[in-house]
Structure 1
Amino acid sequence: MGGLVMTDPASEEVASNDLFGPTPRERVQRIWSSCWIDYPAASQALKRLEWLYDHPRVHRPPCCLIVGESNHGKTTIARKFKRMHEQTFVDGGTSSKMPVVYAQSPPMADIPGLYSNILRAVGAPTASTASALRKQDQVLNLLTRLGTRVLIIDELHTILDGKKDQKGLFLNVLRHLTNELEISLVGIGTKGVLRVFQTNQEFGNRFTPFTLPRWQVGPEYAKFLANICRHGGLQDVAFIKNKTLVRRIHTLSEGLTGETWEVMCTALERMDETGRMAIDGDTLDEIDWTVPTDRRRQT
């Protein structure tokens, strides 16, 4: 998805708003430490994933594509869902269940690479010389034994770099996995991957898209900003009542979840450096920030 945005949180909820630690280093670590902050679009996405998780096993299980722009919270939602259904150990620890498996899509629609990534995600060693068929058998056997109900493949837009026939074969492998295992598959990627799936009627019908919209300036966005600040240790969040300031943060982040997180953490760090007690226009003036669109033009 690009950009690490609130991934792998150590805590599931927004922490207390006391500054953590007496030293600048500890305060910076507190500001940038990962956490889960709920918001409406994320709640809706998690509800959709939970519906897939609870769906009875059928030969053609429903699947989903979570689609959004780069650095917009897609991976964070997927990892949050995985943590909601963690691996458990049974039979005195001699075996385990992994109801949700999360893996990355390899570059260039590489089918053996996909199998290797899934095997790595479940902690299964595989020889680099193993054939694609051998790896496929391992994946099918292991996910069956682990009782997997949902398979998540992130960064699915990497298949766009593959040739047309490679992309077609890769999609067929995804279909084969979900049909053979009778589990739901969730693909995560940017909007380009949606076009690939919709060019095939069967895949377009099977993989229902869930699009994460950009934030709009309003009460929910202001609440999101406040919660980021509270996590970072800022007690005074009165700035969210300043519509001009909130709009400016929205402009800097272009309404993207991950960009908003990074703008706010950068501003909190600058505020701490200057000894200010609140975020204001001067703080935003002083941060080193380039809006995402300009950043992409420079690359």
Structure 2
Amino acid sequence: MEKLYSHIHEKFRHLVSASNEDRIAFLDEPRWVGYPIANEIMENLVSLMNKPKRPRMFNLLVVGDSNNGKTTLIRHFYDLYGQSYVDSNADGVRPIILAEAPPSANEKELYISLLERFYVPYKPTDSVAKLRYQTIHLFREYKVRMLIIDEFHSLLVGTPRLQRQVMNAIKMLCNELQIPIVGVGTRDAIRVLHTDPQHASRFDVAELPNWKLDKAFQQLLFQFQGVLPLKECSNLHTAQLATKIHTISGGNLGNVHRLLCACATDAITCGTEKITLDIIEKNKWVQPTQGLRRIIG
């Protein structure tokens, strides 16, 4: 089987003999596919997490288009390094707190979002000062080493005064706890940093760009092919298929993933067991148009 299905990664070759239903279900499972830029950001995050405490910690803002792999990357990092455990002193440890920014710039809502991650009682009606104190206390009690805030661009929603307040709260947490803070969002999130020059100077920016039609994109398709449980090799990295996939997806990683899963499902269902140009054409409905999905006949 290993020689026959050498186009599939050895971890997934056993799935080829599974039922069509099980193979299609496998396609819907979340899965990490590493690539150079994402791996570099992962290494940067590990380095930040391991830096010794200091009054002015380095922070990071990860930006990219919507559906381009930012949250997947962050959650993969959290799965690897952020799981809770009990240390040698029998104390509970939460190495990473991964929270979502409030839907608008609001200091109180920020603390509530963070407190939710600890699964402890709190009173939303408490004052901002009390919620702030409880947040800091829990971060210290659980020996948190990094705070990650997803949907960071949401902090643009609100008046300039509220934006400054919530960014000052984030700066205070960084200073008080002496831990790195990582923001994750669209490119608009960069504008959040410029509410004050001090905020911009504290954050490095790492971007997950859309893919160009080049050898790196072909290598990405080759890696994707390795996790698709199809009995035949699709040769997704060849010029013709790669060009068509790039045209439909716009180089957006999420669109690439969605297109290939739809095509693989079609290949399993119709029995071709490989993704062909005709199958890609048939499934090109994944192409986005001004934020909407259209079905192309």
TM-score, normalising length: structure 2: 0.89
User: Secondary structure at 2:188's aligned position in 1?
Assistant: helix
Counterpart for residue 5 of structure 1: none
Distance in 1, matches of 2:10 and 2:102, equals 33
Counterpart for residue 39 of structure 1: 35
Counterpart contact for 2:62–2:183, Cα < 8 Å: yes
Change (3 A) 1:97 1:190: same
Q: 2:87 aligns with which of 87, 90, 96?
A: 90
- Give CA deviations for 1:75-118 in whole Å, capped at 9, x if unaligned: 111111112222111358x5311111100001111222211111
Counterpart for residue 280 of structure 2: 284
User: Secondary structure at 2:226's aligned position in 1?
Assistant: helix
The residue type equivalent to 1:172 in the other structure is: N
Distance in 1, matches of 2:17 and 2:163, equals 50
| Match status 1:145 vs 2:133 | no
Q: Compute the RMSD of aligned alpha carbons.
A: 2.1
Distance in 1, matches of 2:203 and 2:291, equals 32
Counterpart contact for 2:286–2:293, Cα < 8 Å: no
Counterpart contact for 2:16–2:231, Cα < 8 Å: no
Compare CA radii of gyration and give the structure with the larger one.
Answer: 2
Counterpart for residue 109 of structure 1: 105
Structure (1/2) with the larger helix percentage: 1
User: Secondary structure at 1:126's aligned position in 2?
Assistant: coil
| Match status 1:242 vs 2:249 | no
Change (3 A) 1:170 1:127: same
Q: Which runs of 5+ in 1 are unaligned?
A: 1-12
Counterpart for residue 5 of structure 2: none
The residue type equivalent to 1:90 in the other structure is: D
Moved over 4 A (4+): none
Alpha-carbon offset, residue 199 of structure 1: 4.5
Q: 2:21 aligns with which of 18, 25, 32?
A: 25
Change (3 A) 1:45 1:235: farther
Counterpart for residue 157 of structure 2: 161
Distance in 1, matches of 2:259 and 2:197, equals 40
Change (3 A) 1:232 1:124: farther
Counterpart contact for 1:46–1:81, Cα < 8 Å: yes
Alpha-carbon offset, residue 198 of structure 1: 2.9
Identity %: 27
**Which deviates further from its counterpart, 195-204 or 150-159?**
195-204
Matches within 5 A, 1:1-299: 15-19=11-15, 22-85=18-81, 86-90=83-87, 95-287=91-283, 289-296=285-292
The residue type equivalent to 2:173 in the other structure is: L
User: Secondary structure at 1:135's aligned position in 2?
Assistant: helix
User: Secondary structure at 1:232's aligned position in 2?
Assistant: coil
TM-score, normalising length: structure 1: 0.88
